[in-house]
Each structure stands twice: as C-alpha cells, then as structure tokens.
Amino acid sequence: MIDSRNLEDCQQRIRQGDRAALAQAMTLIESKLPAHRALSAQLLDRLMPHTGNAKRLGITGTPGAGKSTFLEAFGGTLIAHGHRVAVIAVDPSSPISGGSILGDKNRMLNLSRSDQAFIRPVPSSCHLGGISPRTRELILLCEAANYDVVIVETVGVGQSETEVAEMVDCFISLQIAGAGDDLQGIKKGIMEMADLVIINKDDGDNHGNVEIARHMYHSALQIIRRKYPVWQPQVLTCSALKKRGINEVWQAVLAFWQVMSASGQLTTLRQQQSLGWVRRQIEENALTTLFARPDVQLHYQRLEHMLLSKQLSPRACVNDITDFITHKIFN
Ligand code: GDP
C-alpha cells in the first residue's frame, strides 16, 4: 500500500518498471478517498517530468469485433519490434454487465505474460456510458513506467468513444464486415473521430465482405470533413486471428505520428486535451464542493420537491439554484 512515507520508493519502483508498483499506483489514482487524492496528486507531480513520451492509441469496437485478439497480435508485434506496451481496458458498461465485456481474465493471455506488457482492466466507476476521468492519469503513469505505446481499449457504448478519443493521439476504430455489420461503423460521430479504420476478420470466406466494407468505409471517409488538415484517415484490413495485416496497422500508426508531429498538430492536440481535461475536472470539483454545502443541499431539496409536484419548471429550477449559489458565493 502506498502512503506518504514510501512515496519516493514507489516513484522509483515505477520508473524502474516494477509492475506491482505501477498497479498499486493505479489503484491509488482510482481511489475516491480524500486522503488518497492528495497522495495521488503528489505522486503524479513527481512523475510528470517522465510523461508524454509514449504513442497514445485508442481502440474501440463492438463486443466480438476482435479487440482482444487484435491487441494480442498487435501487442506481440510491437514487443517483437522492441517496444513496451501498456493496455488500459475500460469497460463503460460494467455497472450493467458486471464487467463481462472487457473483464474476462482470459483476454490477452499471451500478452499479459510478457515482461514488456502491462494490462489493466478498469471497470467504470462513474456515470453510465462514460469512462472514468482518472483514465487519463493512468496513461501518464504508464508513460512514467517507460511504456512507449499506451493503448486505451473500450467498447463502443455511450460517451466512451468520444472520451477515449479525447485522451489519445491516434484513434482506431475496429470493425467487422458481413452479416449486416457492414455499415455499423458508418455512424455519425465515429467516422469523424477515427484516424484509422481497421476491418478485422479478413480471412476464410469473409474476404469478399471485407473488401466491400473497405470500399464503403473508404468512400465514407472521403466525404467527411477531415479531423486534421494534414491527415486523411485510412482504412486497413487485417486478420487478428491469423496475425495478418498487423504490421501494416503499426506502419499506418507511425505514418500518422510522423505527419502529426512534423506539422506541430500533435503538440497542439495534446495541449488542447490537457487543458480540456483540467477544465472539466475543475467544473466537476466545483459542483461537488458546492453541492456538499448543507445550505445548498437544503435549498436544492426544496426545489426538487417543487419540480416533482409541478410547481416549478425545470428551467426555473436551474435558474433558481444557480442564483442561490451565485448569491452565496459573492455575498
Ligand atoms: P472483443 O470482444 O472485441 O475483444 O473480441 P474477441 O477478440 O474476444 O473476439 C471475438 C471472437 O472473434 C472470438 O471468437 C475470436 O476468436 C474471433 N476473432 C477475432 N479476430 C478474428 C479474426 O481475425 N478472424 C476470425 N475469423 N475470427 C476472429
């Protein structure tokens, strides 16, 4: 257990690649106890100078698209190239599914056995369909522990895809073809977010379906407004099961990285992401602090009652509580 006395030691162990220390630090970061929050902040402050050096990738896809099979193959290829890979698997549906979508212990079994890999399943601890804001800090911890490729994996549920896209450099959408799945990914929003679209299961009888889907995604991407002027999103195909097309995905990630770095777009993106995160956290903390005040709580309870008995419109309720809080702060 990390405490203020062994913080220095923990920091060093993380830097030296001690996976147990990294896992403990992640548990600390995820903790909601006020004492842990202060300790987390101290630990992150110490580790900050060692962050930012990884390629941050996001990967999403429906359950069954082949994410864990792909990550096994992809992670294995990266390790063979001399990289160190961390996977943060976030299950936004865990309050409903009990963590069954990403929580299966047998996922990525080979990758989890490698010394050069670290896998962390993260149940959703917050609002439904969203991922924990702490996930961004878990990425920083992985970077401080010298993982040079950090992958955040999630299923396409609710807000989770947008939230992952807001914390990574390269956002990958894993799709499958055939059996009516062809157009699944051409939903508004996902295509706009994707830097790479990968159609998996390009093997056996499925090759024809994959080719049709590839053309569809390619056409769709041509008409969507580009996320970055310097990068045209690409469509690739692979078979995670047969480990085909995996190196090509990595080459596409490297091409994206090169273009984004050279243009200065990567620096801008990370700065915007960092500032956006800070802003959201401040708003969340400010609200939590305000609603913890007994006078605000009491007033809000009264308003709730009036709202439910239709004496007050929702808009009037919002205006009233906003005025009440503003008055309390500034008078
Ligand atoms: P996840 O839910 O997205 O993590 O999907 P899994 O990786 O667990 O894969 C779901 C199923 O699809 C499993 O039965 C895999 O063996 C299978 N699968 C994954 N990738 C491929 C592939 O490239 N080709 C084929 N034929 N099956 C695959």
Q: What is the token pair recorded at 178?
A: 């055939």
Q: Which residue has the higher pLDDT, 189 or 85?
A: 85
| Count of CB atoms situated within 10 Å of the CB of 133 | 16
Q: Separation of 66 CA from ligand 1 center, angstroms?
A: 4
How far, in Å, CA of 326 to CA of 45, rounded? 33
Q: Kindly list the strands in the beta sheet with 234-237, ordered across the sheet, starting from the edge strand earlier in the chain.
A: 117-123, 85-91, 149-155, 55-61, 170-175, 196-199, 234-237
pTM: 0.90
| Segment among 115-129, 133-147, 192-206 with least mean pLDDT | 115-129
Distance CA 235, CA 222 (A): 11
Q: Where residue 102 falls among pLDDT bands split at 50, 70, 90? A: low
| Ligand 1 pocket member 68 (CB < 6 A) | yes
Q: What local confidence, expressed as pLDDT, does residue 284 receive?
A: 86
> Ligand 1, residues 69, 74, 102: which to mutate, most atoms within 8 A of Cβ?
69
How confident is the prediction for the chain on average, in pLDDT?
A: 89
